[in-house]
Amino acid sequence: MSAVCALRSRCFPRQVLLGLSAAMSRSYSLDVSAPLLRTQGYVDGRWVSAASVFPVLDPATGQEIARVADCGPAEAKQAVDAAYKAFHSWKQYTAKERSVLLRKWFDLLTLHKDDLAKLITFECGKPLRESLGEVTYSASFLDWFSEEARRVYGDIVPSPAKDRKILLLKQPVGVASIITPWNFPSAMITRKVGAALAAGCTVVVKPAEDTPLSALALAELAEQAGIPAGVFNVVPCSRETTPAVGQVLCTDPLVAKISFTGSTATGKVLLKMAADTVKKASMELGGHAPFIVFDSADIDKAVGGAMASKFRNSGQTCVCSNRFLVQSGIYERFVEKLGRAMDAELRLGHGSEPETTQGPLINTRAAEKVVHQILDAVSLGAKVLRGGKRLHGSFMEPTLLADVTADMLCTKEETFGPLLPVIRFNTEEEALAIANASNVGLAGYFYSQDVSQIWRVAEALEVGIVGVNEGLLSTPEATFGGVKQSGLGREGSKYGIDEYLEVKYMCFGGLKP
């Protein structure tokens, strides 16, 4: 009997599901220090109420954990006006002064990391260990850009004429609208805002409606750090109010720049809105990452990389591996080892439980999408080796599919859930053709010990981020961004701050030779 046939059980071992059973029999409450649990908008250094509120739910239990001000177009316009006013003074701060304030903000995030992690876990569902990791990652961008603030260098260019000097100056673009997703509710803000403030820009942040609490906690700590009024503004809003708020943030003439992380479809809408006033735009959009394992790979390391890349945040990251391509010579061994790793390492439950590795998906719509992809794949011949079932609420069993083909829905669209489909391939050329057959290109991964192959494949993959024998890639020192319809621009690294700068040419003439 082949290894694949031996694994054709759709059930996880009992211990994998025990954490979920325990979670559903307990009650959980969000316990953080009062100053960090903010529920009003933050505009021009003041906490502001709105005409109505909207609920924030714990996705693991469906219970309400807070009611937050539902800011509308009026509050959004107030925030833009405040940011515009503050820009004229903030840009006059020296680079060192901005650096010092960003560093103070970093220190406060580090000091309050436990409470910030609890907020993340309760509003987006990820395990507390991952939430603590996100807070560290979030703070690292403030640390990095506090240093980069002092390295915004211009150029002195040799002039063709003796009576003039040519200077290229870098200046902040102005007010930036920052629109962020729910899956990294803290880090996606600091990765953008750290660069913007370092450059001398001011910002208006619209956090995702599912996860406003982390953004408001960041505002509280920004105020404690001494960030001036109007420099950092937050306008939380409900799903229903989001289109009207987005309209203000993307069309107001006082906004010079928009930075968005989210779906490709939404990014296109925002770009169209921004086009009328020709705003500078950064877009970090959808991914559909291939994960290729060649015959020469170290299989154990490839399995470890697959586990880390696929199941972090229950598969809800834009750089999660979505399509697993395994060469035929090692296919059955890889699938067998991967199934055993899933049995041994994955535990479903509430994110605040220390043993939990897999929390819920963000909502029931997300779970329904995963179920739909599984049913489609099975109807076309895929085999469910692990999981395959939707559980309580928005919990999904981590699912392993074998005998997957490129005509199945899970290989054509981003999943954003704990579904791992494995495709068999024979040649390098075949793997690259499958991997590149997508209109998006954010991240890609592959495992190989053939040095020549490593160079060929790394250069041939049509993505903005490549992991070679590594499943976790993100760091503030490196660029983050994609090609094709995965977006525009880069975040992080020394290049991230350029997204918030303009280059001005200054010709200083009339000089005596």
What would the pLDDT profile of 277-312 be if each residue is shown by its tens digit?
A: 999 999 999 999 999 999 999 999 999 999 999 999
The phi, psi pair for 469, rounded to 5°, reads 55, 35
Count of C-beta atoms within a 10 Å radius of residue 459 = 8
Q: To the nearest whole percent, how much of the chain has pLDDT over 70?
A: 95
DSSP 348: B
The phi, psi pair for 172, rounded to 5°, reads -65, 145
pLDDT of residue 27: 82
The position carrying tokens 């006059």 is 92
pLDDT at 7 over 60: no
**Spatial separation of the C-alpha atoms in residues 360 and 369, rounded to whole Å:** 14
Tell me the CA distances in angstroms from 86 to 208, 232, 379, one per residue in order.
Answer: 24, 9, 58
Q: Indicate the Cα dihedral angle 189, 192, 196, 199, nearest 10°.
A: 130
pLDDT at 1 over 50: no
Within the chain, all domains assigned CATH 3.40.605.10 are found at 31-285+488-503
Question: What type of residue sits at position 98?
Answer: R
- Banded pLDDT at 9 (limits 50, 70, 90): very low
pLDDT at 465 over 50: yes
Q: Are 263 and 286 in contact (CB under 8 A)?
A: yes
The mean per-residue pLDDT over the stretch 333-354 comes to 97
CATH level 2 (architecture), domain 289-474:
3-Layer(aba) Sandwich (3.40)
Q: Are 200 and 170 in contact (CB under 8 A)?
A: no
* 504 CB-near residues (< 8 Å, 6+ apart): 168, 169, 170, 171
Count of C-beta atoms within a 10 Å radius of residue 352 = 22
Q: Is the dihedral of CA 324, 330, 333, 337 positive or negative?
A: negative
Q: Give the pLDDT confidence of 233-251 residue by residue, as tens digits.
A: 999 999 999 999 999 999 9
**Spatial separation of the C-alpha atoms in residues 213 and 36, rounded to whole Å:** 8
Bridge-based pairing of strands 383-386 and 399-404 is antiparallel
Q: b vs e for 172-184, b when ≥16 Cβ sit within 10 Å of the residue's Cβ? A: bbbbbbbbbbbbb
Q: Are 57 and 386 in contact (CB under 8 A)?
A: no
The position carrying tokens 């329904």 is 368
- Banded pLDDT at 18 (limits 50, 70, 90): low
The mean per-residue pLDDT over the stretch 377-397 comes to 97
* 158 CB-near residues (< 8 Å, 6+ apart): 166
**Spatial separation of the C-alpha atoms in residues 56 and 268, rounded to whole Å:** 27
The mean per-residue pLDDT over the stretch 30-34 comes to 91
Higher pLDDT pick, 273 / 23: 273
The catalytically annotated residue of 318, 336, 397, 428 is 318
The mean per-residue pLDDT over the stretch 445-462 comes to 98
Within the chain, all domains assigned CATH 3.40.309.10 are found at 289-474
Q: Give the pLDDT confidence of 85-99 residue by residue, as tens digits.
A: 999 999 999 999 999
Tell me the CA distances in angstroms from 55 to 2, 114, 458, one per residue in order.
Answer: 51, 23, 45
Q: Indicate the Cα dihedral angle 115, 119, 125, 128, nearest 10°.
A: -10
Give all strands (DSSP E) within 372-482, no chain letters.
383-386, 399-404, 419-425, 440-441, 443-447, 465-468
The partner residues of 68 in beta bridges, in order of sequence, read 54
The mean per-residue pLDDT over the stretch 326-355 comes to 97
Residue 240 annotated as catalytic = no
pLDDT of residue 26: 79
Higher pLDDT pick, 10 / 257: 257
Where is average pLDDT lowest: 16-25, 197-206, 285-294, 375-384? Answer: 16-25
3-class DSSP string for 242-302: HHHHHHHHHHCCCEEEEEEECCHHHHHHHHHHHHCCCCEEEEECCCCEEEEECCCCCHHHH
Q: Are 203 and 175 in contact (CB under 8 A)?
A: yes
pLDDT at 17 over 90: no
pLDDT of residue 3: 36
The catalytically annotated residue of 134, 220, 223, 284 is 284
Residue 201 annotated as catalytic = no
Q: Are 153 and 159 in contact (CB under 8 A)?
A: no
Q: Are 119 and 33 in contact (CB under 8 A)?
A: no
pLDDT of residue 513: 86
pLDDT of residue 11: 55
**Spatial separation of the C-alpha atoms in residues 116 and 37, rounded to whole Å:** 9
The mean per-residue pLDDT over the stretch 351-360 comes to 96
Q: Give the pLDDT confidence of 111-148 residue by residue, as tens digits.
A: 999 999 999 999 999 999 999 999 999 999 999 999 99
Average model confidence (pLDDT) across the chain: 95
Q: Give the pLDDT confidence of 182-229 residue by residue, as tens digits.
A: 999 999 999 999 999 999 999 999 999 999 999 999 999 999 999 999
* Residue range 31-285+488-503 in CATH 3.40.605.10: yes
